[in-house]
Structure 1
Amino acid sequence: MLAQFYLQTDMLFWHTFGYYHILAMLNGLCALWFINCTAKGRVAAWMAQNLHNALESTDPASLLGAYRDLWVDLSHMMQQLGRAYSGMYSVYCLLILLTTIVASYGSVTEIMDQGLSFKEAGLFIVAFYCMTLLYIICNEAHHASRKMGPEFRERLLNVNLSAVDQRTRQEVHMFLTAIDKNPPIMNLNGYANVNRKLISSVSSINSLDSTNPERKRKNCFVAF
């Protein structure tokens, strides 16, 4: 906000106080998402690293079964996280998307009408800030899903089944089946899957709309 105050000549200092609570909310929700996704990703990474200890124990089948139950609970927690916060983070992502589009559109139209100035730099800072928040949310969800899904499955697939007993082989197959049937995907209650594809789609929409002002005016009414 201080950057906006210095870069936009028509903005007074006391105007910035109307935005601090909004910035606190945006940063707080992003931090909450970061903490939840990081915690689940670290637990999944710890479980994957300790699979070899379970296979070398005296009763590997029982430990694998306990790990499978723990993994299923962790996957359900990850899915419930997106459902529980679906309304809040759906509005959050829409707010970031709308702010990014409006800031990019405003900077492009100002450059086309009046040329480069410090005001456009302030609008670019707003767009960059919003995209940074969206990047953190999408990237952390992607890493948590990858550690619980593909990386965990790869660990199980690398198990030498010929060196273990029949019961342990069944537990490994049941573990792989549980991963396939319970994909650890961060989903906002059906609205959207939170991963890196979300930020790439937002970036493509933003680039198309910012380079075509008329299309942006039409798409705003269609999207909202």
Structure 2
Amino acid sequence: MEIQDVETFYNDEFQVKNVRKLIRSARAEEIAERTKLDSSDGHVIDEHDQFYRDHKLLLTLFRILAVMPVQRGKIGKITFGWSSLPMIYAYVFYAITTIIVVLVGIERFDVLLNKSNKFDEYIYSIIFILFLLPHFWIPFVGWGVATEVCDYKNGWGFYQLHYYKISGKNLVFPHLSTLIIVLSSGCLIVAVIFLLTLSALLEGFTLYHTTAYYHIITMINMNCALWYINCRAIKNASESLADIFQRDVNDHCSAYIIRHYRVLWLELSELLQAIGNAYARTYSTYSLFMITNITVSIYGFTSDILENSITFSFKQTGLLVAGVYCFILLYIFCDCSHAASEIIVDKVRTTLLNVRVNDVEVDVRKEVQLFLTALRLNPPTVSLKGFTDVNKELMASVSFTTFRLIKSDGRCLMESPNGRFVLFKGPRRVSQADRF
């Protein structure tokens, strides 16, 4: 159900005037009184928008990185404009960082094309170049989806107000603001430590080279944190909805109340689906990037083992860490989506199934059936605009595909007579002498 439809439902004078006739309870009268709150009033939205207050630090950090230049342009509303102050800052920041990335990228390509005679140097050069690519996607996967992200964020304001209208309480997100501080600090610290360690241990990777990667690695970590925070917020909202719904069904089981909760649940389900639609470009490229890095890293790791056995040298450890790092980020991305999709249905369905339909009035029985039908016909899945569903099955598919690519010997990296590495379409099996 669209937000406009929800608003029409709440403002239907027939519903309000016939509350006493339908259910004749003080609880229903409270709900009817709160439905008079104006959802178009920014001050009313802002008063109940706890989610924005808890996670505005995250939005600020994305503005600093020039990835998502949105702002609270109006009271109760997040806005985006191509000529806004955050966007002007993004243009300047992106131009400066692009110069640095291009200069470092030229040097990394030089290492790849002219100096990489050893297998580990070749693989590391490929990985370092791959980690520069996300910078050039920012206008497409960040700025290009900002309007849709604003719609999604503003949807939270409407949902929280509707939650208050029915429950009489503001929706809360336990420890969310503290968690965001911890995650944001961790994303930055991990990026700095990771790059400084590489600079100290890898020959040819200077401190100057690290300047091109700080904002990229931080952005990659922050994207994972952003997705986790959004899914955790859905989980908190689902648990709160299920708890208050169970209490009201136990104490005030009426068709009027169940109908309102059905509308509220449909809106929460739409919020979950809106995540994938709003961030489809961002997380499609994010997933492809992770899959590519996992494949390259694990391929390099296994190939070095075939040549030198397991020595846990720095080059082996570095490739393994790079692969595991990307695998963990991709796992978090898939797992939290899967968890949010499950919890949004389970508790509510359990409450409905526990209603003794033979002991309630006909209109209550009808509303229970309609609610169960809505749960069945509107499965809350996270889809990246139809390209793929984000769940544990996606993670299993990625793992299987990566394994098959590494296992296949159809395309082998061979060394040419002049000592340079080239891609060679060889037979599935190669001699031990030709292996690295």
Q: Give the TM-score category using the shorter length.
A: 0.7 to 0.9
Equivalent residue for 1:86?
Answer: 280
Equivalent residue for 1:100?
Answer: 294
- In structure 2, how many angstroms separate the alpha carbons of the residues matched to 1:141 and 1:93? 14
Provide the aligned length of Structure 1 versus Structure 2. 218
- Classify the secondary structure of the residue corresponding to 2:369: helix
- Classify the secondary structure of the residue corresponding to 2:389: coil
Gaps of 5+ in 1: 219-224
Within the alignment, does 1:109 sit opposite 2:303 as a pair? yes
Could you say if the C-alpha distance between residues 159 and 193 of structure 1 is closer, same or farther in structure 2, counting changes exceeding 3 Å? same
Within the alignment, does 1:153 sit opposite 2:383 as a pair? no
Aligned Cα RMSD in Å? 2.2
- In structure 1, how many angstroms separate the alpha carbons of the residues matched to 2:373 and 2:363? 15
Within the alignment, does 1:163 sit opposite 2:359 as a pair? yes
Could you say if the C-alpha distance between residues 62 and 26 of structure 1 is closer, same or farther in structure 2, counting changes exceeding 3 Å? same
Equivalent residue for 1:131?
Answer: 327
User: Higher RCO, 1 or 2 (CA under 8 Å, sep at least 6)?
Assistant: 1
Could you say if the C-alpha distance between residues 12 and 213 of structure 1 is closer, same or farther in structure 2, counting changes exceeding 3 Å? farther
Within the alignment, does 1:184 sit opposite 2:399 as a pair? no
Could you say if the C-alpha distance between residues 162 and 101 of structure 1 is closer, same or farther in structure 2, counting changes exceeding 3 Å? same
Equivalent residue for 2:336?
Answer: 140
Could you say if the C-alpha distance between residues 215 and 192 of structure 1 is closer, same or farther in structure 2, counting changes exceeding 3 Å? farther
Offset of residue 77 of structure 1: 1.5
Gaps of 5+ in 2: 1-193, 414-422, 424-436
Could you say if the C-alpha distance between residues 135 and 8 of structure 1 is closer, same or farther in structure 2, counting changes exceeding 3 Å? same
1:31-70 to 2 correspondences below 5 Å: 31-58=225-252, 60-70=254-264
Equivalent residue for 1:203?
Answer: 399
- Classify the secondary structure of the residue corresponding to 1:186: coil
Bigger shift: 192-201 or 41-50? 41-50
Note if contact 1:44-1:148 (Cα within 8 Å) is conserved in structure 2. Answer: yes
- In structure 2, how many angstroms separate the alpha carbons of the residues matched to 1:212 and 1:126? 21
Specify which structure has the higher proportion of helix.
1
Could you say if the C-alpha distance between residues 111 and 67 of structure 1 is closer, same or farther in structure 2, counting changes exceeding 3 Å? same
Offset of residue 12 of structure 1: 3.5
Give, as a single letter, the amino acid of the residue that structure 1 aligns with 2:229: I
Offset of residue 127 of structure 1: 0.8
Could you say if the C-alpha distance between residues 74 and 134 of structure 1 is closer, same or farther in structure 2, counting changes exceeding 3 Å? same
Query: Which digits, 9 at most, give the CA deviation of each residue in 1:60-82, with x for residues without a partner?
Result: 22111111101111111111211
